[in-house]
Amino acid sequence: MEVISRIIGEDHGKAVGLFNMQNVRHGTVVELFNYGATIVVLAMPNGKKVAAMPIHLRDNISLSYPVLESFRINPFYLGSTIGRFANRISNAQFTLDGATYQLEKNDGANTNHGGFSGFHNKVFDYKIMGDSCVKFTYESADGEGGFPGKLRLSVTYTLTETNILNIEYKALSDKKTVFNPTNHTYFNLSGNEESVFNHQLEVFADEYLETDEAFLPTGKILPVADIPFDFRKFEHGFNTYFISNSKEHLKHLATLSEPVTGRRLEVHSTMPGIQIYTGDHLSQPFFPCAGIAMEAQGYPDAPNHAHFPSCVIEAGKEATFCIQYRFFNPCIG
């Protein structure tokens, strides 16, 4: 394996590079760029080959745009690194050690995915770390988006020989602050333009967060058995945070599978739960439910709910988080 890179444009005077990694044994291809430390393409072989050549044809199993300019708009956060705080913060504010911080309102009266100043539209510095590893770094200024502390973030993508895409986040702030990263890839394992309605989903959770009409947690933690829909069917769609029932450090949060191709994706993470969003509000150039986002993250609106697990990181103490996408493709092995 090796990382192949090329410059594809620039943004605010900084070069935007595209980075290609391929697992030779399994044929999985990952393309990234440093605009938003984004997953641009996740491609897997479909069992077909180019005539008279040992080249596998591949399907892109993630939603993507064809050009960089579309990622600059990207209202759906396709493939992006999310921060400083994934999901919503109610009333675009929180209080920490007696000080109230006002954030950017980009979701009605609330903040979503870090506001207008979120990581999804920042150009990260980058370094190729080896044959299958790229590290993106960004320094967020004190007060950016309203969040306290100068925060240094690294996002390291590693494609392993066992067909795992490992994402490691490291954050270091000079002030006490809140932090909750995730990746926002939308998956469609069929690799075509069908909806995800034929996919099957397992979420390893006994509880979930009740939310109001603005998708903000009410504070109630409810049993999964009360949810009025079946994970194996997406007719109703959902945008829900599920709490892991695992005590392991690296938790198996969810498994997504597609019966026609037999492809399977497992999401493992150090995060306490996962936001499952069936893409109900996707629109052009996509369509509703064209992909499903499986966002391992901390509890939404955690700074405003004292009984939720804390998302606070201490000044000068590096915090580390991990998300793993484990791919299984029967046509290759």
Q: Each residue of 87-116: pLDDT tens digit?
A: 999 999 999 999 999 999 999 999 999 999
Residue 175: partners with Cβ closer than 8 Å, 6 or more residues away: 142, 148, 149, 150, 315
The reply to whether 295 belongs to the active site is yes
pLDDT per residue as tens digits for the range 271-313: 999 999 999 999 999 999 999 999 999 999 999 999 999 999 9
Helices (H) and strands (E) in the chain, counts: 1, 27
Instruction: Tell me the pTM.
Output: 0.94
CA separation (Å) from 162 to 1, 63, 181?
12, 23, 25
Asked if 241 contacts 201 with a C-beta cutoff of 8 angstroms, the reply is: no
> In this predicted model, what pLDDT tens digit does every residue of 106-164 receive, in sequence order?
999 999 999 999 999 999 999 999 889 999 999 999 999 999 999 999 999 999 999 99
pLDDT digits (tens, 9 = 90+) for 206-255: 999 999 999 999 999 999 876 655 454 455 678 999 999 999 999 999 99
Catalytic one of 56, 120, 184, 199: 184
Which pLDDT score, from 0 to 100, does residue 181 have? Answer: 98
Instruction: Cite the DSSP H helix spans in the chain.
Output: 68-73
Output the average pLDDT for the chain: 92
Of 225, 235, 166, which is closest to residue 199 (Cα–Cα)? 235
For 36-46, what is each residue's pLDDT tens digit? 999 999 999 88
The three-class DSSP label of residue 15 is strand
Percentage above 90 pLDDT, the chain: 81
pLDDT category at 193 given cuts 50, 70, 90 is confident
The token pair at 322 is: 């991990």
- Give residue 222's identity as a one-letter amino acid code: L
Q: Could you give the CA distance from residue 155 to residue 159 in angstroms, rounded to a whole number? A: 13
**Which are the contacts of 93, defined by CB distance < 8 A and separation ≥ 6?**
100, 101, 102, 103, 146
